[in-house]
Amino acid sequence: MSDLKATVTETKTSSGHAGFHVEGYEKIEYDFTFIDGVFNIENANLANLYKKWARCLAVADINIYNIYGEQMKKYFDHHGIKLVIHKTKIGEKAKTIPTLLSIVEAMTEFGIIRKEPVLVIGGGLITDVAGFACAAYRRSTNFIRIPTTVIGLIDASVSIKVAVNYGNYKNRLGAYHAPIHTLLDFTFLRTLPIAQVRNGFAELMKISICSHLSTFELLDKYCEQLIELKFGRADGSSKELIQAADKINFEGIHEMLRLETPNLHEIGLDRVIAYGHTWSPLHELIPETPFRHGHAISIDMAYSATLANSRKLITDEEHHRILKLFSRAGLSMDHETFTEDILEQATAAILKTRDGLLRAAVPSPIGKCIFLNDVSKEEMNAALHRHKQIVKEYPRQGAGLDAFVDASDTGECPAGEAEHDHVVVKNPLNSNGVKDINGSNGVNGKKKDSITDIECISKLTQPPTTKVMA
């Protein structure tokens, strides 16, 4: 939520021309709640956010809907809230203006009211695109986020940036638009594929290598267990692992907020959390099948660590420790497409984004960071050649596991499955039974309309709440 205060004063230029000077200050505040079982019927946190409206438009990842859709319906039905679900698939190739417009169409069809919040459920790609749709719709429509992936929970949830890709450039079109609330439910990781857990692990490496040594130590200690047992949410997780994972997640998010909230609109361009994001924004989309985001930034981070080591900013031991952790996690450290030419193109692109300076974040030492602005083309290329030789000494010669997007990432639908569909759950106080409605914007031109019975599925965990004000 925002509260804008401003002053207007009369001015006069040195040439005698009259005018005005406007000085405005916008207070931005939004909340985070850590909660296990957000769709448990006994847990009214989410329902309370929609009581005023007695209805909810949800933009949901289709994979999440397939797993949790029935539970979502029963939850809202139980609380007497009319639910409309707009199902979508959004991957890097579908993180586009047409996808954004499909969400806008759903908002128009729903008849969203000015201050009424859209509920966005899915990974970082979903929250990015749906958040941008909300930013654009009537120039500012509220939304509530429920991220469901490691990247969504740890990284995308913290930022107020929303965007779509343009051409081969990630997030080239976007805005700054804060949600009114973010609900952080790590139990979604139980059903997240291991490849996506690994993908998100990279974001924790990003923040820990350059800003939080104690988190890096925990990642180093529990690396394989964190990935294989989905941050302590999978069956067989020990109490020790669960406690370590919860500490990593809480402190990682807290550190991201500490760094981001003073600079929500990126007025300051030296950003610690831009580690791994100097050359990766262009490189990520270069292969015909794009990299998963975590692997793209891991290549950038590993190369940046080699660059830092070449400058003696980190020791050989620290350098090896960083690269070894990337390798143990199954994250990429190099690829044949990471070339001198790509470095040159990516550097030219990022200089425009960063107001003419490279501002490359590198560790110095682990847990702290500095920014490099004076890296010559010759130094970059020399570091690249050295990096490619060094990573050959590691398993898979620097290649990552599950490094490229698949059908679950791309936003492409299997044959016969519509990319966007609606399921409407009616308020049980107003109607009953099940009916079929033929209409538009659904599978083969048909819209599904159903009402479900109510069942209690699982148990409530009381959440702590974090409020952000900047």
In a domain, 196, yes or no: no
The predicted-structure confidence for 359-385, as pLDDT tens digits, reads as follows 999 999 999 999 999 999 999 999 999
Pick from 336, 325, 338: which is nearest to 383 by CA? 338
pLDDT digits 0-9 by tens, 410-425: 444 333 333 334 433 3
Report how far residue 302's alpha carbon sits from residue 288's, in angstroms, rounded to the nearest whole number. 22
Cα 309 to chain centroid, rounded: 30
Same structural domain for residues 221 and 249?
yes
Whether residues 404 and 419 fall in one domain:
no
Residue with tokens 């859709």: 69
Q: pLDDT value at position 234? A: 96
Does any domain span residue 239?
yes
| Position 376 in a domain | yes
At 432, the pLDDT band (50, 70, 90 cuts) reads very low
Classify residue 4: in a domain, yes or no: no
Residue where one domain finishes, among candidates 358, 382, 408: 408
Backbone angles phi, psi at 14, to 5 degrees: -65, -20
What is the structure's pLDDT at 455?
Answer: 24
What residues make up the domain containing 105? 30-184+413-469
Contact 384, 398 (CB under 8 A): no
**60 within 8 A of 86, measured Cβ to Cβ:** yes
Q: What is the largest CA-CA distance in the chain?
A: 76
Name the phi and psi angles at 404, rounded to 5: -115, 150
Tell me: do 163 and 214 sit in the same domain: no
455 and 440, same structural domain? yes
pLDDT band at 408, cuts 50/70/90?
A: low
Q: What is the pLDDT of residue 163?
A: 96
Residues 418, 322 within the same domain: no
Condensed to tens digits (0 to 9), the pLDDT of residues 217-245 reads 999 999 999 999 999 999 999 999 999 99
Co-location of 49 and 85 in the same domain: yes
Report the mean per-residue pLDDT for the chain.
87
Antiparallel, parallel or unpaired: β 161-166 and 169-176:
antiparallel
Residues 98 and 72 in one domain: yes
Q: Give me the torsion for CA of 9, 10, 11, 16, rounded to 10°.
A: 180
Dihedral sign for Cα 413, 415, 420, 425, please. Answer: negative
Task: Indicate the SS3 state at residue 50.
Answer: helix
Q: Let me know whether 44 and 124 are in one domain.
A: yes
Do 248 and 166 lie in a common domain? no
Instruction: Please give the pLDDT value at position 2.
Output: 56
Q: Last residue of a domain, which of 386, 408, 430?
A: 408
CB 375 within 8 A of CB 350: no
Segment 8-25, tens digit of pLDDT: 999 999 999 999 999 998
For the cut 90, the answer to whether the pLDDT of residue 326 exceeds it is yes
Q: Are 216 and 314 in contact (CB under 8 A)?
A: no
Residue 335 lies in a domain: yes
First-to-last alpha carbon distance for the chain, in angstroms, is 11
Count of domains for the chain: 2
Q: Of 367, 390, 408, which residue constitutes the final position of a domain? A: 408
Residues 378 and 312 in one domain: yes
Does residue 296 sit in the same domain as residue 356? Answer: yes
Asked whether 248 and 220 are in contact (CB, 8 A), the reply is no
CATH of the domain at 454: 3.40.50.1970
Q: Does 438 reside within a domain?
A: yes
Tell me whether residue 447 is in a domain: yes
Q: Give the range among 230-234, 249-253, 461-465 with minimum mean pLDDT.
A: 461-465
CATH code of 276's domain: 1.20.1090.10
Task: Report phi then psi at 119, rounded to 5.
Answer: -95, 125
Same domain, 115 and 137: yes
With respect to residue 191, please indicate whether it lies within any of the assigned structural domains: no
**Secondary-structure percent of the chain, ordered helix, strand, coil, rounded to 5:** 45, 20, 35
